[in-house]
Chains A and B, each alone.
Chain A
Amino acid sequence: MRKRPILYFTKRSILERPQRIFLMVIAVSMAVSLLVSMITVAGGMRKRLADELKAYGANAIVSSSEYLGEAVAELLKQKKGVIVIPELYGRLCLSGKGQLPRHQLMLNVIGMPSEAMKELKITGTIPSTREVLIGRRLKEAGGFSQGAELNLSENCDSSSTERFIISGVFERVGPEDSGIIMELHRLQEILGLKGKVSVVLLRISPEDFEDTIQELKSSLPNIEIRPIRQVALSEERLLKKIETLMLIVLIVVVLASVITVAGMMASTIFERLVDIALMKTMGGTSRQIQTFFILEAFIVGVMGSFLGLITGIIAAQAITLSAFHKTVAIPVIVIPVAFFIGITISVLSGIPALKRVTAYRPSIILRGEI
């Protein structure tokens, strides 16, 4: 048996036993598809969860002992993947009739861009420049309703008040709920703080939180960026946990499925004792016979990996699509990993059996004594 006969045997062995080959390919592809779908879902999970975590709000804050220029916010906006919300804090005087002492009350006011208000829990609509949102406690205390008017002025001594219409009620929990929220530039105008903000809140993707903070710190040395520990720390912990979970599940599942496949691959070799004995009597060396089987296992491995790769990717897409309503990017790494694992299982699992089988004397096998 030279090289060509090996190829010939392999070809015949594959083409003439389609059922067996098919079963082996299915077994290999099952292990590979589990591996591929697990890796893809696990990889995508981190990103998708990071998206979901956005709802917890800002995870870093830029502040200083004085007001910040709005230019800082513009600079921060240029950094990709960072959501920037500038906020201005101030106090305005609410003039009312009847129920207030001297008919006046100082209220905390937050100014923020309209698009940032979309993230708030609001009943009502986002205010235009002549409108404001009021906090839930203020609404309960004052019995205000949507569409009612508020008279606000910079301080309680000034005679010029401005009239605002309540466009909705917001709820953030905490002292803010006794105050009001209005459009940032409007508040700057009223307070005479054009272009100034009190803080800039940042939402940085938790995936590369530390790196981004370091980068911002070095590119903007004059400002102080601090993580909001409540969000930043908890996110980090949660993502780590989920990642470990997926990794361990991956290892357990892949290990178990490899055992199943390996058992099956080994059994197919024992089944072919007679073939092996025949090859030997025809002058084939153990080495040539092993090469033949390994070549066959290699081809099964390639086919199984290919099938497994495709079904695994389809399964992963289906899972992420229904769980997170978004597709998942297929990490390129799964392609080499799929082929490596598929071929390795297929080839390696047969080798111990092959070693044992080729050591038998052909006459014993052919006589049917084994």
Chain B
Amino acid sequence: MFFRVLSNFLLNEKKAISIIFFSTVAGTAIIATMLSLSFEIESRIQKELRAFGANIVVEPKVSGLISLAGQPRYLNELDIPKIKTIFWRHNIIGIAPFLETSLEVNVKGQGIKLTGLGTWFEKELPLPDGSFRAGIFSVASWWFIDGRVPKKRECLVGLALAKRLGLKLEDRLRIGNEEFTITGILSTGSREEDMVVMDIEELQRIKNLPHRVSSIWISALTTPMDDFAYKDPATMTPQEYEKWYCTGYVTSIAKQIEEVVRDSSARPVWRVAEAEGNILQRVRLAIYLLSVVTLIASSLGVASTLMTSFLKRTREIGLMKAMGGGRLKISLLLLSGIAVVTTISSIGGFFLSLLLSDFIGLRVFGSGLENRALLLPLSILSGFLMNMAGAMIPLRNVLSVRPAIVLKGAE
């Protein structure tokens, strides 16, 4: 009997069911899309924020004022691949070394003292498990070369320097007893615009500084700093230290880098690291809260649809009551009808949300959002929450109808 009435409802009330169906599909799809967005917004925005440049800088360690005054100190270039072997290696998404030295340059027959800067432009770092593309553009996406990347016996000149000395593309500079061709004018909006920039190997060769680098810039995905992260590692208990070391804070990643690069001091670029943490937290919170608002609003929308469809069935319920149906039995019957529709439509909503979140991911971040299987149970759960909550009020209303009055058509 129960199943006959249920299947009758499902088969004959097509109009009512289709309205519940579509509104539940739409509601769960919105909720699931917002959820998948809020799961991923943090990592997506963080990747965008990495455009603000390196957040860790490695420099030679200093000890004694003499180390600032005397011969410049260097790091060893051969230590750089080790940075991609630390615990947080997968979070390191950009590396570029720099060598800064003075250069005696002969420009159009005139000898001048300039600053030379060597770096990696495109560098394939061999690693135990594959390779890693490092280079200046992985840490400083804003470097702009009007021309092309320099190779052997070639260099770039900074925009300010080019203006000052009247240099242009294809001009030649004499450095030592070698000729360098200018292949591009470099704009960075910073100190580099006053320098002669070339591949680090070339600068190491002409200055006879094999494998020497003055600093290394690193771009790493990090966990935003919290109160715990600011604690001085030296004062931590062993348990605290372990927790700190194994969390991807910018400070703990810097510490691990220091351990693999000999005689180095790795420091967070606070300006970048702190601003990044703040922005991430804010955007994440805003998206979470928007999801909550969406959840509430969609539930209300779906609930009101459901109420409409319940009110329509007053007469039917009156009849059931007149035939001796108890409150429990009638509620069970009504709710199981809704449950069947809800289950099917939330699964539909889940699949629709896959399309929607892929669309959002592609349009905004250039790649679809990862569709987690977790969203399927969440969609069904939210569908049920939405519909059962929406069903409660009208259910109470219709259960209290007096069959005689309803059937007479007086209500």
Contact = CB atoms under 8 A, between A and B. Distances in A.
B289 A248 contact: no
A365 interface: no
A162 to B, nearest CB: 19
Given A227-B189, A260-B26, A37 B52 contact: no
Contacts, number: 225
Contact of B68 (A105, A271, A318): A105
Given A27-B304, A38-B290, A319-B286, A244 B164 contact: no
Interface string A60-80: 010001000000000000000
B62 A270 contact: no
Contacts of B300: 26-27, 30
B34 to A, nearest CB: 7
Contacts of A227: 189
Interface stretch (A136-144, A291-299, A332-340, A354-362): A136-144
Contact of A248 (B29, B267, B275, B363): B363
Contacts of B29: 256
B120 interface: no
Contacts of B301: 26-27, 30-31, 257, 260-261, 264
A52 interface: yes
Contacts of B37: 249
Interface in B291-310: 293-294, 297-298, 300-302, 304-305, 307-309
Interface stretch (A2-10, A41-49, A109-117, A278-286): A41-49
Q: Which of B63, B144, B364 has the most CB of A within 10 A?
A: B364
B403 to A, nearest CB: 20
A20 interface: yes
Contacts of A137: 59, 62, 68, 265
A320 interface: yes
A153 B304 CA distance: 79
B274 A257 contact: no
Nearest to B360: A248
Contacts of A96: 65
B51 interface: yes
Contacts of B140: 230
Interface stretch (A185-193, A215-223, A231-239): A231-239
B149 to A, nearest CB: 17
Nearest to A311: B297
A181 interface: no
Contacts of B360: 245, 248-249, 252
A318 B22 contact: no
B275 A53 contact: yes
B271 A56 contact: yes
B380 to A, nearest CB: 18
A13 to B, nearest CB: 15
A262 to B, nearest CB: 9
Nearest to A237: B51
A121 interface: yes
A55 interface: yes
A200 to B, nearest CB: 14
B312 interface: yes
Contacts of B78: none
Contacts of B365: 241
B247 to A, nearest CB: 21
A249 B369 CA distance: 13
A230 B293 contact: no
B65 A99 contact: yes
A266 B23 CA distance: 12
A57 B49 CA distance: 14
B68 A320 contact: no
B356 to A, nearest CB: 5
Contacts of B187: 229
Given A140-B62, A264-B308, A256 B285 contact: no
Interface in B175-225: 187-190
Contact of B304 (A23, A38, A231, A323): A23
A352 interface: no
A226 interface: yes
Interface string B54-98: 000101001111111110000000000000000000000000000
A307 to B, nearest CB: 11
B26 A256 contact: yes
A173 B298 contact: no
Contacts of A20: 308, 311
Interface of chain A, main secondary structure? helix
A37 B27 CA distance: 17
A267 B189 contact: no
Contacts of B275: 52-53, 55-56
Contacts of A27: 300-301, 304-305
Contact of B30 (A56, A100, A253, A320): A253
B52 A230 contact: yes
A18 interface: no
Nearest to A139: B62
B30 A234 contact: no
Contacts of A248: 359-360, 363-364
Contacts of A48: 282
Contacts of B342: none
Contact of B66 (A101, A173, A252, A324): A101
Interface in A145-195: 171-174, 178
Contacts of B305: 27, 260, 263-264, 267
A268 interface: yes
A315 interface: yes
B169 interface: no
Interface string B135-165: 0000011111000000000000000000010
23 contacts: A23-B304, A24-B304, A34-B294, A41-B290, A48-B282, A65-B164, A137-B62, A137-B68, A173-B270, A173-B271, A226-B189, A228-B189, A229-B190, A230-B53, A242-B283, A248-B360, A249-B290, A257-B26, A260-B23, A260-B27, A264-B23, A319-B289, A319-B293
The 9 A-B pairs at the shortest CB distance, nearest first, are namely A55-B275, A229-B189, A229-B142, A141-B62, A323-B285, A323-B286, A260-B23, A30-B301, A319-B289
Interface of A: 19-20, 23-24, 26-27, 30-31, 33-34, 37-38, 41, 45, 48-49, 52-53, 55-57, 61, 65, 94, 96, 99-101, 105-106, 121, 136-138, 140-142, 171-174, 178, 226-234, 237-238, 241-242, 244-245, 248-249, 252-253, 256-257, 259-261, 263-264, 266-268, 270-271, 315, 318-320, 322-324
Given A27-B300, A53-B275, 4 more contacts: A34-B297, A55-B274, A141-B68, A248-B359
